[in-house]
């Protein structure tokens, strides 16, 4: 761990945040880890900690995009094409009993 290597310390802090996401304080632990590894001044440590939080938010955005695409965009697309009784929305029961 290089003191002052902002990008490396930011990525390490983000990984700590993601790994400890089951705790309620993972952003604090990840940001604190990144700031500690930066080791320069408190101001630069706070900047690196904040950047690690931004980096840790990226996996959440990707996960949210996949969930949105699977549960919202796909069923709406199927309904727009005229798929009556879409299995996505009606739970597999056709309105005509077919």
The structure's pTM equals 0.65
* Predicted local confidence at residue 80, as pLDDT: 57
* Predicted local confidence at residue 4, as pLDDT: 73
* Predicted local confidence at residue 98, as pLDDT: 52
* Predicted local confidence at residue 70, as pLDDT: 77
* Predicted local confidence at residue 71, as pLDDT: 77
Instruction: Locate 92 and state its tokens.
Output: 């597999």
pLDDT tens, position by position, 50-93: 999 999 999 889 988 888 877 776 666 665 555 555 455 545 55
pLDDT tens, position by position, 16-45: 999 998 898 999 999 999 999 998 889 989
User: What DSSP line would sit under 6-63, residue for residue?
Assistant: HHHHHHHHHHHHHHTTTSTTHHHHHHHHHHHHH-S-HHHHHHHHHHHHHHHHHHHHHH
* Predicted local confidence at residue 19, as pLDDT: 93
- Give 71's DSSP letter: I
User: What DSSP line would sit under 74-88, residue for residue?
Assistant: HHHHHHHTT-TT-HH
**Contacts by 36-42 with C-beta closer than 8 Å and gap 24+?**
37/1, 37/3, 37/8, 37/9, 37/12, 37/13, 38/3, 38/4, 38/6, 38/9, 39/3, 39/4, 40/3, 40/4
């Amino acid at each position: 761990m290089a003191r002052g290597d902002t990008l490396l310390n930011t990525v390490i802090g983000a990984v700590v945040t993601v790994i400890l996401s089951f705790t309620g304080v993972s952003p604090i632990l990840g940001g604190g880890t990144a700031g500690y590894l930066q080791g320069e001044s408190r101001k630069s440590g706070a900047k690196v900690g904040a950047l690690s939080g931004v980096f840790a938010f990226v996996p959440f955005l990707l996960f949210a995009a996949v969930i949105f695409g699977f549960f919202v965009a796909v069923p709406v697309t199927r309904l727009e094409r005229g798929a009556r009784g879409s299995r996505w929305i009606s739970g597999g029961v056709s309105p005509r009993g077919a």
